[in-house]
Every structure is written in structure tokens, then in C-alpha cells.
Amino acid sequence: MTYAVNPAISRIEAPPIIEAQGWVRPGLRNRKLLNLCQAVPSWSAADALDEEVARLAHEPGIGLYTDIYGIAELRAAIAAHLSADYRGKIAAENVCVTAGCNQAFAASIMAIAKAGDNVIVPVPYFFNHTMWLGMLGVEARYISGIGAPDPQEALKLIDANTRAIVLCTPNNPTGAIYSPEVLQGFFEVARARGIALVIDETYKDFRAGAAPAHAIFSTPGWEDCFIHLYSFSKAYAMTGYRVGSITASTRILAEIEKIMDCLAICTAHLSQRAALFALTSLEDWKAEKIANMHGRLSALRQAFGRTGLRYELVSSGALFAYVKHPFTDETAKAVAMRLAGEHDLLCLPGSIFGPGQEAYLRIAFANAEASDMEVLVDRLIESQISAISASSSGRAIR
């Protein structure tokens, strides 16, 4: 006899990126795998960050816990950064430092929703969001999310058990960047119905231009219904440091403090100091890297204009391209597995990102150089050609 596992956890699918990595068959064709399954920049963290971390490692007290909410200097720096970015008014007491944005999401949702409640999410969604909702027994209610989601569609789904609307912009998986008007519309719906608007803005720094992503932080009383989530992982190439943040009312942060105390007590002290250095000393480094990523995005968009390509670029931005594949009779997973196993291109099937996504693939291009984008399209075309030669065995292509 052994012990039972929690069915709320065992019924959730295994982490999808690990599964996808198993579809690769290395060494068959003697060429490099184009690994576009995870949104991780191809560069390492800044050299100056490495040096600072080496110096910090010798500081007395660096191995100790910090305040649950994080060190005061980092909370103040995040508040100042967000205030400048959104031209809003954010105080340090509104910020909680977390071990990455996933923990920020987990703690925020746990603080506002219980089993039997529901949360509204556009589809396609970031799979960790719905995995977590499922683990808590919180129902995900879907609105359509290719292009801009519609606040009025969300309004129709709200009932007495609705606790939040969850958005992600720039979006994972589509790369879509929602307009300030759309985001304000969701904020007004949330405020009118007394629920939370949770926005995961992990990729906010990858927007083009300096205009604020939205005006919510400059709307009086934003704290009543807005929860903002951020990550240091992508913009500063600090995925392994595990630093993110929640910006919200002190009322909800007091609940989140209890959750954080049990989850991790605090974000790793050294990581917090590294994030503080990144925020205060690496603006130029970040700007250069983001300009590089914009170059990759332009190269990708241009490559998808190739004559004869039957994969359609539906949406793109930040580190993502959402692509409609041409195989009408096949699941997205079958297509993604074939691309990985036969064409050395690893990307994720749309089905991981929600119902109704069988026609799509997500390409996370942060790991590819601008010069790789033509190779990406070469391999997509190669998959069309081999499908046509296999068409006598029944593979239909649009």
C-alpha cells in the first residue's frame, strides 16, 4: 500500500515544456535544433550583474532571511520604476517581492479565490495560470483572446462566485499587446462588479516606445481592484534568480504576506539584491537587449512573408509568434511533434494554451538570432513539402 495523491493536482497535465523536449530526435540530420519552445532570451545576464553578485556573496547578512515582503530598497525601487513607467502613483508599501512572477500569480490568486469560485481568462492562456487555478479548484471561465479580448464578453460571465479577471499583456502565447483602452475597459468592469483585475505584465519591457501600457495606475482608487504582476526573469535575463513582484493594495498584501510566509518566507536575499542592482544600474543594458529582440521580431515578421509558406503568422509581439499551421486534419500536438522529430524545430502546440487551439503553434523566438528566422521558415516549408509527398497516406494541407 502507498499513500494517495491529491486528485486536484494529479488531474493537472504534466509541465508541457518538459514533455515537448522529449519529442526531439537529436543527431539524425546533423543540423542544429531550432529550440523555440520556451521564452528564454539567448543571452546571459549582464557581466556587471555577475560581478555584483560575486561581490554581494561576501556581504555580511546576505545569507539571512529578509522581510517577507522583500528588502525595503527593492520595494521602493520597484515602486519608483512602476510609477515612472505607468506615470502613476505607486508606494513601496504596495509592493511585495516574490520568487518570480509565477509565485506572484499563485499567491495573488490564492489570496482572492477559493475552491468553487471562478476566474475569467482569455483563451489562449498562459498554461501555468490555468494549472494553478485547477489545483486550487477554481473554475476558469473562458473568453476569446486571439487579438484583443472584449471586456463586455467578460462582463456576461461574471456571477456571484467570480473573483477575478486574469489578463496577460504582452501576451503569452500570442505576443498581442492589449491597448490602454481595452485594459481600462477590463478595469472598469472589475471595479463595477467588485472583483479583481490581475494583469501579468512579465513582458511589459518588450513593448516598443515609452508610452504607458495603460492608465490604471493613474486612476484614483486603482488599489481597490487592480493587481499587477511583474518578473525580472525575461527583461534582465535573470530566470534562475527567481525574482518578481506583486503590486496591489496593502489590504490584499496583508493576506499575501501569510501565503508568502508559508511558501518561501522571503525571496532569496541575494536574488533580491541582484534585482535591485538590475533595476537601478542596468537600464542601458536592458534597452540594448530589448532593441535586439525587436530586431528579431522584425526579422521573423519579414520571414513569414515568404512566398509559398502556408503557415500563417496570426499574431506576434514581445517574445512570441502565434502561427496557424496548414494541416487541416491533424492536431496541433501531432504537427509540433513532427516538426520536432523530423524537421529539427521545437515549438509548442496551441492545444497547451486552451480549448479550440488545435490549428495553432506557439513559437517563442527569444532563443533565435535574427538570422535564424529564415531557417525557421525553411523548416516550416520543408514540413509542407514532406506532408505533400505523404499526402497519398492522407495528410491534408490547406
Ligand X SMILES: Cc1ncc(COP(=O)(O)O)c(C=O)c1O
Q: What is the DSSP letter of 311?
A: S
In the block, residue with C-alpha cell 532569496 = 268
If the CB atoms of residues 231 and 383 are measured against ligand X, the closer one turns out to be 231
Q: Minimum distance between the CB of residue 239 and ligand X, rounded to whole angstroms?
A: 5
C-beta closer to ligand X: residue 151 or 244: 244
Specify the residue, 343 or 362, whose C-beta has the smaller distance to ligand X.
362
CB of 25 to ligand X, least distance (A): 25
In terms of DSSP bridges, do strands 345-346 and 34-35 run parallel, antiparallel, or are they unpaired? parallel
Closest CB to ligand X among residues 162, 202? 202
* In 88-229, alpha helices (H): 101-112, 127-136, 151-157, 180-193
Q: Quote the CA–CA distance of 240 and 274 in Å, as a whole number.
A: 11
**Which regions of the chain does DSSP assign to beta strands (E)?**
34-35, 95-98, 118-123, 139-144, 162-168, 196-200, 226-231, 244-247, 312-317, 320-324, 345-346, 348-349, 360-364
Could you give the CA distance from residue 236 to residue 100 in angstroms, rounded to a whole number?
Answer: 12
Minimum distance of ligand X from residue 27's CB (angstroms): 28
State in angstroms the smallest separation of the CB of 282 from ligand X: 17
- Give least dist CB 100 to ligand X, A: 3
Q: Cα separation of 254 and 178, whole Å?
A: 30
The shares of helix, strand and coil residues in the chain, as percent rounded to the nearest 5, are 45, 15, 40
Identify which of residues 230 and 327 has a Cβ nearer to ligand X in the complex: 230
For the bound state, the minimum distance from the C-beta of residue 148 to ligand X, rounded and expressed in Å, comes to 17
Contact footprint for ligand X (CB under 6 A): 39, 100-102, 126, 168, 172, 200, 202, 231, 233, 239, 244
Question: Which residue lies nearer to ligand X by CB, 100 or 326?
Answer: 100
Nearer to ligand X, 131 or 154 (CB): 131
The span from the CA of 84 to the CA of 232, in Å, is: 17
Least distance (Å) between residue 75 CB and ligand X? 17
| Chain residue at closest Cβ approach to ligand X | 100
Q: Provide, rounded to whole angstroms, the least separation between the CB of residue 218 and ligand X.
A: 24
| Complex with ligand X: residue 126 or 304, whichever CB lies closer | 126
What span, in angstroms and rounded, lies between the C-alpha atoms of 167 and 345? 29
Inter-residue long-range contacts of 301-306, CB under 8 Å, 24+ positions, other chains counted:
302/373, 303/373, 303/374, 303/376, 303/377, 304/377, 306/377, 306/381
Q: How far apart are CA 262 and CA 120, in angstroms?
A: 27
